[in-house]
Chains A and B, each alone.
Chain A
Amino acid sequence: MAKAKSGPLARRPDNSAFKQQRLPAWSPMLTANTVLPFFYFMAVICLLLGIWLLLTVQSVQEIRMDYTDSGACAHCHDLRKNVSNAALICTCKLYFHVDRPLKGDVFFYYGLQNFHQNLRRYMDSRDDAQMVGRKTNLKKPSSYCKPFATNDKGLPIAPCGAVANSIFNDSFKFQYLGSGSSDEPVPLWRKGISWYTDKNIKYRNPQMDNLSLAEVFHGTAPPPYWHRPVYELQTHDAINNGFINEDLIVWMREAAFPNFKKLYGILQRTNKPFESGLPKGNYSVEITYNFPVQYFRGRKQVVLTTLNWFGGPNKFLPIAYLITSCLVLLAAIGLTVVCKE
């Protein structure tokens, strides 16, 4: 206490609400009048949400096709079993039929199963400083990238690390076979498939300084499994090349679980007959089969979906809400019975 007091009450503690533990306070209690209405309210809310979500999700369509070793792709699968054949190009075609037209935006994904992008050492094996375009890191990748930091000749690898090295490098040509036999390519947006922040902040090419991209990357080596260096990923489009190539960006955003899908393209709805989505009919996907999955017993898929506001053909969410609602309702009824007794 700052000022010295005297008298018989000199050392008497202050009479403040804080010190006397008499702070004004709200002491809520669980009573039947609060808990039961809350339970019923929660049950109703969950029920309504569940029903709404379920209705929404009904309209979503999904086509999922495994092409790992099916049909025409079987020979490519066998070819990729041998590493020495890595340079050989193998393509195969996947045919499928759309019964109901996919209305609205249609998204083209590739899916991988049993591919562990979430291993700790795998996820660490990247250099974000390099990929944000820092020149020092370009030439001297982080030691986390090992063993994909430098190649046999000691050249720094750009982009370094296991994540970039293992990029999914199958490519797809999506074709509409129409009702007749005329093949018509289905146009896909191959840009705008990554997060805005990734595209514009997290991944940057090194400063050009009036050099070409190839010159900037001079003195670096591509990751060992890559067929092309990073500056040739999309040669005809400067803002989709190098580190800001969207396929690379999509791949670099590691999946949390071993089974995942990644966006490959979005249907361009500018021209007929795709203005309102994918019309029904026969389609084919021509796959350049590069990515070997047999090493880890993985599977590869092509996924076509439409979307609703909460994304994807996700039946779990509405069902979970409905079940929760039922359980809460049961609990509420049980509690009411107990209370009444």
Chain B
Amino acid sequence: MNEKWMNVRVGDIIKLENNQFVAADLLLLSSSEPHGLCYIETAELDGSTNMKVRQSVSVTSELGDPNNLAQFNGEVVCEPPNNKLDRFRGMLYWREKKYTLTNQNMLLRGCVLRNTEACYGLVIFAGPDTKLMQNSGRTKFKRTSIDRLMNTLVLWIFAFLVCMGIVLAVGNAVWEREVGTLFQHYLPWDPSVNGFLFSAVRTFWSYVIILNTVVPISLYVSVEVIRLGHSYFINWDQLMFCSKCNTAAEARTTTLSEELGQVEYIFSDKTGTLTQNIMSFKKCSINGHSYGEVADPLGPQPKVSIPNLKISNPDFCFYDDTLLESVKVGDSHTQEFFRLLSLCHTIMSEEKSEGELVYKAQSPDESALVTAARNFGFVFRSRTLGTITTTEMGRTVTYTLLAILDFNNARKRMSVIVRNPEGRIRLYCKGADTVLLQRLRPCKQDLINITSDHLNEYAADGLRTLALAYRDLTEEQWEMWSESHQCADKEEDLLSAAYEQIEQDMTLLGGTAIEDKLQEGVPETIALLSLANIKTWIVTGDKQETAVNIGYSCKMLTDDMTQVFIISGHNGEREEVVEGCGEVCFMKFKGAGKQSQCPPSNRMDNISGDFALIINGHSLAHALEADMEEEFITTACACKAVICCRVTPLQKAQVVELVKKYKRAVTLAIGDGANDVSMIKSAHIGVGISGQEGIQAVLASDYSFSQFRFLQRLLLVHGRWSYLRMCRFLCYFFYKNFAFTMVHFWFGFFCGFSAQTVYDQFFITLYNIVYTSLPVLAMGIFDQDVPDQRSLEYPKLYEPGQFNLLFNKKEFFICIAQGIYTSVVLFFVPYAILANASQSNGEPLTDYQTFAVTTATALVIVVSVQISLDTGFWTIFNHVFVWGSLGCYFTIMFAVHSQTLFSSFPNHFHFVGSAQSTLLQPVVWLTIALATVICIVPVLAFRFLKLDLKPQLSDTVRKTRTLTSGRLGARGGSRRSGYAFAHQEGFGELITSGKNMRLSSLALASFASRHSSSWIDTLRRKKHAHTPPSRWRAVRLVHLLLLTLSCCN
């Protein structure tokens, strides 16, 4: 029965099938796999891609049948809903017995069921109580900084309006007292008005009404229209369309577009955002010979087609023919290399029909390696408790599996010991090269050096490297070790000592390089964005090693960096964070070469050199505490690259909030999974990667598209344009309203402050709506200063937005000043000229209506010329709107001043005939021309001077049509072994204990259940014992020492 997620209630028992999302936080009751095991992928929750195992409480795992489950009537007592993804405490009471529940029994919402046909779960938390939802922050109403500035400015304008009202009211009071009382002979005061003070109060309100056009009500509407246009352009952009997943970019909010031009910090998720979550076997080094695609100036090499194998995986691709040749001619090293890959792993296989092999790997790395071997003729077919069956070049071979020396984080390697059909015993080992190279037989130093060089080369390309080696064991050696191994049993120290003992004197086979496939164009995008002064922080729930590796492959971390700092503290070690930050400060300090006494915040500013900071979730928790956060943020911001790993969804949001709080910078969060929702919501702009699995992130986001690389277009092209257009729009809008309205203010001084308007009522009504709205809207929607490809070529063009250069309080005052200047010119020039002018038939032009028409016409012409100057990109729409508005003005004016309308409504259209009799006068046109020249020439001169003396980059780019493009990217060699990256320990044990073998024998099942809790315990213990890599610790110690020294001084 299918039911919608919304109908899932606490206490329901629901059935999940393979590859389904878990709908709620479930207590796993039973699964189709033996022992109530099931596999989940938690990429949506924490970003790590390896599979995790969950197991039901043993008593419930036997309830396989739906009927039995229906009768299940246990009672669960557990902790209240919380946001801790890695902890769960509860008790199951059933049949008068108590069972402890831990996180190991839970399937959290957001996980995906993998490699498990079906499972049954009891809903513990549903809906907003689930851990996932507890981790997503509250939805906040997002507004852009321009919006906030605009609100402030509107308040200021309102205050200014009140001031003008007061000035004019005082003027009115004085005038009424001095002049108005005398003029009562001709114009008595209203009976209700019994004094100049009352008149002043009334004048105040009249002027507030007349001058209200300075407070631009239509501004908000126009701004929204422009933003809507910008979001449509984003939706329509073909270059942000991904044909692979048939998804176009989508602006899900229409209110943030100009903020896209001001982003300073990007917080990016890793899995699914930067990476494709696909591992591919990219290169290998066998016996000192490197295979794999090399950067070929003649274009990409053809893909190797692997013939003759019906059971190869069609998705596999490799670009070097010579390797295949080498396999075919039977080169022993190559064969041994792939044999190792086909034997040394913990993958389970499932062969549904001949040739249709499905590997169930707990890490995509392993899967990639075994698939590679499969495609080169060494096919892993199946395994039993004690055997591994492979097909080697078409010949089926069965090896006896003697032991699996499992992986753990400290060992960073795994081995298998097998006996081949001929009876020889051999140990195959793969592991981190740093670890493995120490355990080789000290001969063939050349080979070791060459392989090591190759691995360095691979690592520099951001590939995950592994070294492979084998060792032949004699029967005696094996038996001796086997005994000691058995003695060691489950004692971890003894066990690792035993492993250590046998993994010696190995012979190097070669190395592999796996690519954690980045999404297309990710390094280029990050590099481009960093040129645009946008800092990218990787915030991921995944492991430190993986994150660092991606940092390198994204070219965020490079070997040229002065120092990479890693703060990876553990439970409750607060000091470590303090020290971590301290040492970073110190290094910076030293890097600057100044031993000054200035406070830390200043110190951070004059620091040169590239630093990177890597911090994990535990340390971050301390860094985010109130007294540490400022130190942390200064440190982090001084670093060129920041990577936060192992962070919870809520911490992601906290990091974003922290930057928002202290840097007052515009932040953008980009992610694809449910674990990014809180970050997406709390950042100024949230971007969701669509097209992957799950749409939680997209639903919470403001913009969504399917490729990380579209971010550069979104920000550098659309964002930049949006910001530019919005700023130009706002400047002009304030200008035109002030130019329009302030004329009334000046007229107030000549009309006894009587609140007489300068213009005709119809003009006042239509000015903002008809005469001046469309040209500026067209500019706000279509304007471009430089073409799109230019703004990608010159990322520095993005900077004005970050520094708020195009519209801020200063720019606002300049616009206002210009508006006021225009209003002065528009009032006083016609005043001075018309006061003494007359028509050619002697009739004076001093009358009010002529003055009104002249001023209004001059105003419309001046603001039209101004918008023409402001418009930098004249599309057909701009032409139509600018000329159309002018035409509209004259048409409407002649219509309103026409005889027809007057004869119908004489009191409303009393301007009859003014238009023609005024506009036929040459002196009126001379006035308008003079006013226009006086208004525009200074603006033109200033603009030209600014362009000439202080050209902006955009001006220069506009001028220069030549193209200079710089290539970026540095190569270095640092060794980052990748075995540990996506691997988790415990699977070797699973295999050897036979727990995840699909064996139907009940006896075995009952045997295993006895042990099941013990291996889970081991697993947990080992996880907590995780230690930071020794290399970084050494670096840290040195720095601490330096720090102490400096303190002593």
Please give the residue numbers on chain A whose beta carbons come within 8 Å of chain B beta carbons, in ascending order. 8-15, 19-21, 23-32, 35, 38-39, 42, 46, 49, 53, 105, 107, 109, 114, 116-123, 125, 127-129, 131-132, 134, 142, 144, 147, 162, 165-166, 192-198, 201-202, 253-263, 266, 292, 295-297, 307, 309-317, 320-321, 324, 327-328, 331, 334-335, 338-339
Contacts and interface: CB of A to CB of B under 8 A. Distances in A.
Interface centre among B186, B237, B756, B940 (most CB of A within 10 A): B186
B243 interface: yes
Contact of B873 (A9, A27, A295, A297): A27
Contact of B949 (A53, A166, A254, A338): A338
A320 B246 contact: no
A81 B910 CA distance: 35
Interface string B820-864: 000000000101111111111111111111111000000000000
Nearest to B842: A107
A183 B617 CA distance: 112
Interface of B: 179, 182-183, 185-188, 190-191, 206, 233, 235-238, 241, 243-244, 246-248, 721, 750-752, 754-757, 782, 784, 788, 829, 831-852, 872-878, 899, 902-903, 906-907, 910, 912-913, 916-917, 921-923, 926-927, 930, 933-934, 937-938, 940-941, 943-945, 947-949, 955, 958-959
Give the top 9 A-B pairs by smallest Cβ distance, nearest first.
A197-B913, A19-B236, A311-B838, A256-B851, A120-B756, A107-B842, A310-B923, A166-B186, A128-B906
B960 to A, nearest CB: 11
B756 A261 contact: no
A336 to B, nearest CB: 11
A193 B913 contact: no
B930 A297 contact: no
Given A123-B848, A132-B903, 17 more contacts: A11-B246, A12-B243, A53-B926, A118-B750, A120-B206, A128-B906, A131-B906, A166-B186, A202-B906, A256-B750, A263-B842, A297-B179, A309-B922, A310-B922, A314-B837, A334-B941, A335-B945
A256 B913 CA distance: 17
Contacts of A25: 782, 784, 873-875, 878
Contacts of B943: 30
Contacts of A257: 750, 831, 835, 846
B902 A202 contact: yes
A255 B846 CA distance: 6
Given A116-B183, A260-B846, A311-B923, A198 B913 contact: yes
A121 to B, nearest CB: 6
A128 B907 contact: yes
Contacts of A259: 835
A257 B876 CA distance: 43
Contacts of A309: 840, 922
A307 B838 contact: yes
A87 to B, nearest CB: 16
A338 B836 contact: no
Given A27-B784, A255-B846, A324-B933, A32 B926 contact: no
B928 to A, nearest CB: 12
A26 B874 contact: yes
A246 to B, nearest CB: 11
B232 to A, nearest CB: 8
A199 B483 CA distance: 126
A313 B835 CA distance: 11
B370 to A, nearest CB: 31
Interface centre among A49, A128, A257, A311 (most CB of B within 10 A): A311
B871 to A, nearest CB: 9
A8 B183 CA distance: 81
Nearest to A332: B941
B188 A116 contact: no
Contact of B829 (A12, A121, A292, A320): A320
A11 B247 contact: yes
B775 to A, nearest CB: 14
Contacts of B839: 311
A313 B836 contact: yes
Contact of A116 (B751, B903, B912): B751
A134 B836 contact: no
Contacts of A105: 842
Given A118-B751, A255-B847, A338 B840 contact: no
A123 B486 CA distance: 112
Contact of B756 (A15, A119, A192, A201): A119
Given A23-B782, A258-B750, A317 B899 contact: no
A7 B958 CA distance: 40
Interface centre among A30, A35, A125, A202 (most CB of B within 10 A): A30
Given A10-B246, A21-B788, A309-B840, A46 B933 contact: yes
A128 B903 CA distance: 10
A256 B923 contact: no
A116 B749 CA distance: 12
Contacts of B847: 253-256, 260
Given A14-B236, A29-B959, A129-B907, A120 B754 contact: yes
Interface centre among B754, B846, B938, B959 (most CB of A within 10 A): B846
B933 A262 contact: no
A13 B948 contact: no
A13 B934 contact: no
Given A132-B903, A263-B842, A292 B236 contact: no
Contacts of B872: 27-28
Given A19-B233, A202-B913, A335-B941, A42 B756 contact: no
A230 to B, nearest CB: 17
Contacts of A254: 847-848
Contacts of B244: 8
B756 A118 contact: yes
Contacts of B875: 23-25
Contacts of B247: 11
B930 A317 contact: yes
A324 B934 contact: yes
Contacts of A125: 187
Contacts of B903: 132, 201
B874 A28 contact: yes
Interface centre among A39, A197, A292 (most CB of B within 10 A): A197
Given A256-B846, A292-B185, A197 B940 contact: no
Given A256-B847, A258-B750, A328 B933 contact: yes
A98 B684 CA distance: 80
A328 B930 CA distance: 12
Nearest to B958: A29
A311 B840 CA distance: 6
A316 B179 contact: no
Given A20-B238, A120-B755, A30 B944 contact: yes
Contacts of A327: 937
A134 B906 CA distance: 10
A32 B948 CA distance: 9
Contacts of B190: 121
B838 A118 contact: no
B237 A195 contact: no
Given A15-B238, A307-B840, A261 B958 contact: no
Contacts of B923: 310-311, 314, 317
Contacts of A258: 750, 752
25 contacts: A11-B246, A13-B248, A20-B236, A24-B875, A25-B878, A30-B944, A39-B937, A53-B926, A105-B842, A109-B844, A118-B750, A120-B757, A121-B187, A123-B848, A132-B906, A195-B913, A201-B913, A254-B847, A255-B844, A256-B750, A295-B182, A296-B179, A311-B839, A313-B836, A314-B837
Contacts of B182: 295-297
Given A29-B958, A296-B186, A12 B906 contact: no
A253 B849 contact: yes
Contacts of B237: 13, 19-20
A315 B183 CA distance: 32
Contacts of A19: 233, 236-238
